[in-house]
Amino acid sequence: MIRRLIAAAFAFSFVTLSPAQADLRLCNRMSYVVDAAIGFEDKAAAATRGWFRIEPGQCRLVLQGTLDAERVYLHARALDVYGGSPLPPSGHADLCVSTGNFVIAAARSCRSGQRLARFTEVKPTETEQGPTASLAEEADYNDEQARLAGIQRLLVLAGYDASPIDGVQGRKTEAALAQFVNDRKLTADATAAPNFFEVLIEAALKPEGGGFSWCNETAQSVMAALGVEEKGAIVTRGWYRLEPGRCLRPDVSGQARRVYSFAEAIDAQGSPVRRGDKPLAWGGDTMLCTREAKFELNEHRDCAARGLTAAGFAPIELPRGGTTLRLREP
Protein backbone atom coordinates (compact mmCIF):
# COMPACT_ATOMS: atom_id res chain seq x y z
CA MET A 1 0.00 0.00 0.00
CA ILE A 2 2.63 2.54 1.00
CA ARG A 3 4.76 1.64 -2.03
CA ARG A 4 1.78 2.31 -4.27
CA LEU A 5 1.20 5.64 -2.53
CA ILE A 6 4.83 6.62 -3.02
CA ALA A 7 4.55 5.84 -6.71
CA ALA A 8 1.29 7.77 -6.85
CA ALA A 9 2.94 10.78 -5.24
CA PHE A 10 5.05 11.27 -8.33
CA ALA A 11 2.23 10.60 -10.76
CA PHE A 12 -0.36 12.66 -8.80
CA SER A 13 -2.89 9.84 -9.14
CA PHE A 14 -3.53 6.51 -7.56
CA VAL A 15 -3.06 3.32 -9.50
CA THR A 16 -6.42 1.97 -10.65
CA LEU A 17 -6.72 -1.67 -9.75
CA SER A 18 -9.04 -4.33 -11.06
CA PRO A 19 -12.81 -3.90 -10.53
CA ALA A 20 -12.85 -6.95 -8.30
CA GLN A 21 -10.80 -5.17 -5.70
CA ALA A 22 -12.51 -3.01 -3.07
CA ASP A 23 -12.43 0.80 -3.11
CA LEU A 24 -12.45 2.93 0.04
CA ARG A 25 -15.33 5.37 0.41
CA LEU A 26 -15.79 8.19 2.90
CA CYS A 27 -19.32 9.24 3.90
CA ASN A 28 -20.22 12.53 5.57
CA ARG A 29 -23.13 12.12 7.99
CA MET A 30 -22.52 15.49 9.62
CA SER A 31 -24.42 18.74 9.05
CA TYR A 32 -21.26 20.48 7.84
CA VAL A 33 -19.54 20.58 4.47
CA VAL A 34 -16.01 19.30 5.13
CA ASP A 35 -12.66 18.95 3.44
CA ALA A 36 -11.13 15.58 4.31
CA ALA A 37 -7.71 13.98 4.02
CA ILE A 38 -6.81 10.31 4.46
CA GLY A 39 -3.64 8.77 5.81
CA PHE A 40 -2.21 5.26 5.65
CA GLU A 41 0.44 3.57 7.74
CA ASP A 42 2.19 0.36 6.78
CA LYS A 43 5.43 -0.98 8.28
CA ALA A 44 6.17 2.36 10.02
CA ALA A 45 5.86 4.33 6.78
CA ALA A 46 3.00 6.82 6.38
CA ALA A 47 1.40 8.59 3.43
CA THR A 48 -1.47 11.07 3.09
CA ARG A 49 -3.78 12.34 0.37
CA GLY A 50 -6.34 15.16 0.18
CA TRP A 51 -8.39 17.24 -0.01
CA PHE A 52 -11.79 15.69 -0.63
CA ARG A 53 -14.74 18.10 -0.44
CA ILE A 54 -17.68 16.11 0.95
CA GLU A 55 -21.15 17.55 1.43
CA PRO A 56 -23.59 16.42 4.14
CA GLY A 57 -25.18 13.12 3.18
CA GLN A 58 -22.60 12.48 0.44
CA CYS A 59 -20.17 9.57 0.01
CA ARG A 60 -16.96 9.91 -2.01
CA LEU A 61 -14.45 7.44 -3.33
CA VAL A 62 -11.12 8.34 -1.71
CA LEU A 63 -8.97 5.36 -2.69
CA GLN A 64 -9.10 2.89 -5.55
CA GLY A 65 -7.68 -0.56 -4.95
CA THR A 66 -7.33 -3.09 -2.17
CA LEU A 67 -7.16 -1.55 1.30
CA ASP A 68 -4.26 -3.42 2.94
CA ALA A 69 -2.63 -0.79 5.14
CA GLU A 70 -2.04 -1.61 8.80
CA ARG A 71 -3.80 1.60 9.85
CA VAL A 72 -6.12 4.07 8.16
CA TYR A 73 -6.33 7.66 9.38
CA LEU A 74 -8.75 10.49 8.71
CA HIS A 75 -8.49 14.25 9.15
CA ALA A 76 -11.49 16.49 8.39
CA ARG A 77 -12.03 20.21 8.67
CA ALA A 78 -15.28 22.17 8.37
CA LEU A 79 -15.32 25.11 5.98
CA ASP A 80 -14.47 28.56 7.32
CA VAL A 81 -18.06 29.71 6.75
CA TYR A 82 -19.05 27.87 9.96
CA GLY A 83 -16.66 29.89 12.14
CA GLY A 84 -14.88 27.78 14.78
CA SER A 85 -14.45 24.18 13.66
CA PRO A 86 -17.03 21.82 15.20
CA LEU A 87 -14.62 18.93 14.75
CA PRO A 88 -12.52 17.99 17.80
CA PRO A 89 -8.73 18.34 17.42
CA SER A 90 -8.07 15.04 19.24
CA GLY A 91 -6.60 12.15 17.27
CA HIS A 92 -3.97 9.43 17.07
CA ALA A 93 -1.26 10.64 14.67
CA ASP A 94 0.29 13.85 13.38
CA LEU A 95 0.78 13.63 9.61
CA CYS A 96 1.62 16.14 6.90
CA VAL A 97 -0.95 17.90 4.76
CA SER A 98 -0.70 20.69 2.22
CA THR A 99 -2.92 23.24 0.51
CA GLY A 100 -4.81 22.31 -2.63
CA ASN A 101 -4.79 18.73 -3.88
CA PHE A 102 -1.86 16.76 -2.51
CA VAL A 103 -0.29 13.32 -2.24
CA ILE A 104 2.51 13.06 0.34
CA ALA A 105 4.52 9.83 0.35
CA ALA A 106 6.63 10.51 3.48
CA ALA A 107 3.98 12.09 5.66
CA ARG A 108 5.81 12.21 8.99
CA SER A 109 8.44 14.75 7.90
CA CYS A 110 6.86 17.85 6.43
CA ARG A 111 8.61 19.80 3.69
CA SER A 112 8.18 23.39 2.59
CA GLY A 113 4.50 24.23 2.06
CA GLN A 114 3.36 21.35 4.25
CA ARG A 115 2.20 21.28 7.87
CA LEU A 116 1.30 18.73 10.49
CA ALA A 117 -2.37 17.96 11.15
CA ARG A 118 -3.93 15.66 13.72
CA PHE A 119 -5.41 12.50 12.16
CA THR A 120 -7.76 10.03 13.84
CA GLU A 121 -7.51 6.29 13.22
CA VAL A 122 -10.64 4.83 11.64
CA LYS A 123 -11.82 1.26 11.09
CA PRO A 124 -13.66 1.07 7.75
CA THR A 125 -16.68 -1.21 7.74
CA GLU A 126 -17.55 -3.58 4.92
CA THR A 127 -20.61 -2.54 2.90
CA GLU A 128 -22.09 -3.55 -0.43
CA GLN A 129 -20.09 -0.71 -1.99
CA GLY A 130 -16.85 -1.83 -0.32
CA PRO A 131 -15.01 -0.60 2.79
CA THR A 132 -16.55 2.62 4.10
CA ALA A 133 -15.50 5.11 6.77
CA SER A 134 -17.98 7.68 8.06
CA LEU A 135 -17.91 11.10 9.65
CA ALA A 136 -20.71 11.47 12.18
CA GLU A 137 -21.90 13.81 14.92
CA GLU A 138 -23.88 13.31 18.09
CA ALA A 139 -27.24 13.56 16.32
CA ASP A 140 -26.42 10.30 14.48
CA TYR A 141 -28.00 11.35 11.16
CA ASN A 142 -28.50 9.02 8.25
CA ASP A 143 -27.53 10.29 4.78
CA GLU A 144 -30.88 11.96 4.05
CA GLN A 145 -31.09 13.60 7.48
CA ALA A 146 -27.48 14.82 7.26
CA ARG A 147 -28.16 16.50 3.92
CA LEU A 148 -31.24 18.29 5.23
CA ALA A 149 -29.48 19.30 8.46
CA GLY A 150 -26.61 20.66 6.34
CA ILE A 151 -29.08 22.70 4.30
CA GLN A 152 -30.74 23.98 7.49
CA ARG A 153 -27.39 25.02 8.98
CA LEU A 154 -26.36 27.02 5.91
CA LEU A 155 -29.81 28.61 5.61
CA VAL A 156 -29.50 29.85 9.21
CA LEU A 157 -26.03 31.23 8.47
CA ALA A 158 -27.45 32.96 5.41
CA GLY A 159 -30.05 34.67 7.59
CA TYR A 160 -33.09 32.40 7.18
CA ASP A 161 -34.92 30.88 10.12
CA ALA A 162 -34.60 27.15 9.43
CA SER A 163 -33.91 26.21 13.04
CA PRO A 164 -33.78 23.88 14.84
CA ILE A 165 -31.03 22.13 12.90
CA ASP A 166 -32.34 18.61 13.28
CA GLY A 167 -32.58 17.03 9.82
CA VAL A 168 -36.39 17.04 10.02
CA GLN A 169 -38.46 18.53 7.20
CA GLY A 170 -40.84 20.82 9.08
CA ARG A 171 -42.88 23.86 8.08
CA LYS A 172 -40.20 26.33 9.17
CA THR A 173 -37.56 24.61 7.06
CA GLU A 174 -39.92 24.43 4.06
CA ALA A 175 -40.75 28.14 4.41
CA ALA A 176 -37.10 29.16 4.80
CA LEU A 177 -36.05 27.06 1.82
CA ALA A 178 -38.87 28.44 -0.35
CA GLN A 179 -37.96 32.00 0.63
CA PHE A 180 -34.28 31.36 -0.15
CA VAL A 181 -35.13 29.97 -3.60
CA ASN A 182 -37.40 32.95 -4.25
CA ASP A 183 -34.88 35.55 -3.03
CA ARG A 184 -32.12 34.06 -5.20
CA LYS A 185 -34.46 33.71 -8.20
CA LEU A 186 -33.61 30.02 -8.48
CA THR A 187 -35.61 27.40 -10.36
CA ALA A 188 -38.00 25.13 -8.47
CA ASP A 189 -35.65 22.15 -8.80
CA ALA A 190 -32.56 24.08 -7.62
CA THR A 191 -32.47 22.28 -4.27
CA ALA A 192 -31.70 19.00 -6.05
CA ALA A 193 -28.98 20.49 -8.26
CA PRO A 194 -25.39 19.24 -7.78
CA ASN A 195 -24.19 22.78 -6.97
CA PHE A 196 -26.87 23.64 -4.40
CA PHE A 197 -24.48 23.54 -1.45
CA GLU A 198 -22.17 25.91 -3.33
CA VAL A 199 -25.08 28.34 -3.70
CA LEU A 200 -25.87 28.01 0.02
CA ILE A 201 -22.23 28.59 1.01
CA GLU A 202 -22.06 31.71 -1.15
CA ALA A 203 -25.23 33.01 0.50
CA ALA A 204 -23.94 32.21 4.01
CA LEU A 205 -20.76 34.16 3.33
CA LYS A 206 -22.79 37.22 2.32
CA PRO A 207 -26.41 37.27 3.56
CA GLU A 208 -28.67 39.31 1.31
CA GLY A 209 -32.18 39.46 -0.07
CA GLY A 210 -35.45 41.00 0.99
CA GLY A 211 -37.18 40.91 4.34
CA PHE A 212 -35.60 41.59 7.71
CA SER A 213 -32.41 40.19 9.22
CA TRP A 214 -30.39 40.58 12.39
CA CYS A 215 -26.60 40.36 12.30
CA ASN A 216 -24.81 39.90 15.61
CA GLU A 217 -21.55 41.85 15.37
CA THR A 218 -20.68 41.52 19.06
CA ALA A 219 -18.64 38.95 20.96
CA GLN A 220 -21.75 37.92 22.94
CA SER A 221 -24.58 35.50 22.29
CA VAL A 222 -27.80 37.39 21.64
CA MET A 223 -31.46 36.47 22.10
CA ALA A 224 -33.83 38.43 19.87
CA ALA A 225 -37.60 38.85 19.57
CA LEU A 226 -39.64 40.20 16.69
CA GLY A 227 -43.00 41.93 16.46
CA VAL A 228 -45.05 41.87 13.24
CA GLU A 229 -48.33 43.63 12.49
CA GLU A 230 -50.96 41.03 11.67
CA LYS A 231 -54.69 41.79 11.25
CA GLY A 232 -54.47 45.04 13.14
CA ALA A 233 -52.48 43.64 16.08
CA ILE A 234 -48.78 43.26 16.80
CA VAL A 235 -47.74 39.65 17.26
CA THR A 236 -44.43 39.14 19.06
CA ARG A 237 -42.37 35.97 18.67
CA GLY A 238 -39.17 34.83 20.33
CA TRP A 239 -36.64 33.83 21.11
CA TYR A 240 -34.19 33.72 18.21
CA ARG A 241 -30.62 32.92 19.18
CA LEU A 242 -27.77 34.66 17.35
CA GLU A 243 -24.22 33.55 18.01
CA PRO A 244 -21.36 36.05 17.58
CA GLY A 245 -20.70 36.89 13.94
CA ARG A 246 -23.94 35.27 12.74
CA CYS A 247 -26.93 36.66 10.86
CA LEU A 248 -30.49 35.37 10.98
CA ARG A 249 -33.57 36.17 8.93
CA PRO A 250 -36.76 35.42 10.91
CA ASP A 251 -39.91 34.42 9.07
CA VAL A 252 -41.88 37.57 8.24
CA SER A 253 -45.02 36.45 6.45
CA GLY A 254 -47.01 38.57 4.06
CA GLN A 255 -45.89 41.97 2.80
CA ALA A 256 -44.90 43.57 6.10
CA ARG A 257 -43.88 47.22 5.87
CA ARG A 258 -42.75 47.50 9.48
CA VAL A 259 -41.44 45.16 12.16
CA TYR A 260 -40.51 45.65 15.82
CA SER A 261 -37.21 44.40 17.19
CA PHE A 262 -35.81 43.72 20.64
CA ALA A 263 -32.55 41.92 21.43
CA GLU A 264 -30.36 41.41 24.46
CA ALA A 265 -26.95 39.86 25.03
CA ILE A 266 -26.68 36.85 27.36
CA ASP A 267 -23.80 35.09 29.07
CA ALA A 268 -23.00 31.36 29.19
CA GLN A 269 -25.61 30.87 31.96
CA GLY A 270 -28.32 32.64 29.98
CA SER A 271 -28.32 35.75 32.18
CA PRO A 272 -28.39 39.23 30.63
CA VAL A 273 -24.98 40.79 30.01
CA ARG A 274 -24.62 44.19 31.68
CA ARG A 275 -22.52 47.20 30.82
CA GLY A 276 -22.26 49.18 34.01
CA ASP A 277 -25.75 49.40 35.50
CA LYS A 278 -27.56 48.67 32.24
CA PRO A 279 -28.19 45.45 30.29
CA LEU A 280 -26.58 45.20 26.87
CA ALA A 281 -29.75 45.38 24.77
CA TRP A 282 -31.07 46.83 21.53
CA GLY A 283 -34.64 48.09 21.42
CA GLY A 284 -36.86 51.18 21.47
CA ASP A 285 -39.89 52.81 23.04
CA THR A 286 -42.70 50.51 21.85
CA MET A 287 -43.57 48.41 24.90
CA LEU A 288 -44.59 44.86 23.99
CA CYS A 289 -44.89 41.65 25.98
CA THR A 290 -42.38 38.80 26.05
CA ARG A 291 -41.79 35.82 28.30
CA GLU A 292 -38.67 33.92 29.39
CA ALA A 293 -39.46 30.78 27.38
CA LYS A 294 -40.34 30.52 23.71
CA PHE A 295 -43.44 32.59 22.99
CA GLU A 296 -45.94 33.98 20.51
CA LEU A 297 -48.13 36.77 21.92
CA ASN A 298 -50.73 39.10 20.40
CA GLU A 299 -51.98 40.90 23.53
CA HIS A 300 -49.70 43.52 25.07
CA ARG A 301 -51.72 45.20 27.83
CA ASP A 302 -50.78 44.66 31.47
CA CYS A 303 -47.83 42.39 30.71
CA ALA A 304 -46.75 42.06 34.35
CA ALA A 305 -50.27 41.25 35.56
CA ARG A 306 -50.34 38.29 33.17
CA GLY A 307 -46.94 36.98 34.30
CA LEU A 308 -45.17 38.40 31.25
CA THR A 309 -42.30 40.84 30.81
CA ALA A 310 -42.64 44.17 29.02
CA ALA A 311 -39.72 45.06 26.74
CA GLY A 312 -39.05 48.13 24.65
CA PHE A 313 -39.12 47.23 20.93
CA ALA A 314 -37.76 49.42 18.15
CA PRO A 315 -40.03 49.97 15.12
CA ILE A 316 -38.13 49.31 11.88
CA GLU A 317 -39.44 50.29 8.47
CA LEU A 318 -38.86 47.71 5.75
CA PRO A 319 -37.86 49.12 2.38
CA ARG A 320 -38.63 47.12 -0.72
CA GLY A 321 -35.17 45.54 -0.79
CA GLY A 322 -35.33 44.57 2.91
CA THR A 323 -33.09 45.70 5.73
CA THR A 324 -30.51 44.28 8.14
CA LEU A 325 -30.24 45.38 11.77
CA ARG A 326 -26.61 45.09 12.86
CA LEU A 327 -26.24 44.59 16.61
CA ARG A 328 -23.09 46.28 17.87
CA GLU A 329 -21.73 47.20 21.28
CA PRO A 330 -21.91 50.94 22.00
Of 136, 158, 182, the residue that ends a domain is: 136
Residue 311 and residue 216 share a domain: yes
258 part of a folded domain: yes
Domain that holds residue 177: 142-193
Residue 42 and residue 11 share a domain: yes
With 60 as the cut, is the pLDDT of residue 4 above it? no
Its sign, for the CA torsion 114, 118, 121, 122, is negative
Of 136, 158, 177, the residue that ends a domain is: 136
With 60 as the cut, is the pLDDT of residue 1 above it? no
Residue 307 and residue 224 share a domain: yes
Residue 106 and residue 17 share a domain: yes
Q: What pLDDT digit, counting tens, does each position of 128-147 carry?
A: 888 899 999 888 999 999 99
Q: How far is residue 272's CA from residue 223's CA, in Å, rounded to a whole number?
A: 9
Q: What is the pLDDT of residue 160?
A: 84
Of 117, 136, 155, the residue that ends a domain is: 136
199 part of a folded domain: no
198 part of a folded domain: no
Mean pLDDT for the chain overall: 85
With 60 as the cut, is the pLDDT of residue 5 above it? no
Residue 154 and residue 107 share a domain: no
Closest CA to 64 of 104, 21, 105: 21
With 80 as the cut, is the pLDDT of residue 16 above it? no
Q: What pLDDT digit, counting tens, does each position of 153-210 carry?
A: 999 888 788 878 899 999 989 999 998 998 889 998 999 999 999 999 988 877 655 5
Residue 245 and residue 292 share a domain: yes
Q: How far is residue 313's CA from residue 211's CA, in Å, rounded to a whole number?
A: 18
Q: What is the pLDDT of residue 46?
A: 93
Neighbours of 183 (CB within 10 A): 18
Residue 132 and residue 6 share a domain: yes
Residue 120 and residue 150 share a domain: no
Residue 233 and residue 174 share a domain: no
Q: How far is residue 226's CA from residue 146's CA, in Å, rounded to a whole number?
A: 30
200 part of a folded domain: no
For residue 231, what are the contacts with CB-CB under 8 A and spacing of at least 6?
none
83 pLDDT band, cuts 50/70/90, is: low
DSSP H or E segment with residue 315: strand 309-317
Residue 168 and residue 101 share a domain: no
Q: How far is residue 252's CA from residue 261's CA, in Å, rounded to a whole number?
A: 12
Does residue 323 or residue 173 have the better pLDDT? 173
202 part of a folded domain: no
201 part of a folded domain: no
Q: What is the pLDDT of residue 18?
A: 33
272 part of a folded domain: yes
pTM above 0.85, yes or no: no
Q: What is the mean pLDDT of residues 1-28?
A: 47
DSSP H or E segment with residue 174: helix 171-183
Residue 132 and residue 150 share a domain: no
Q: How many domains are there within the chain?
A: 3
Residue 232 and residue 161 share a domain: no
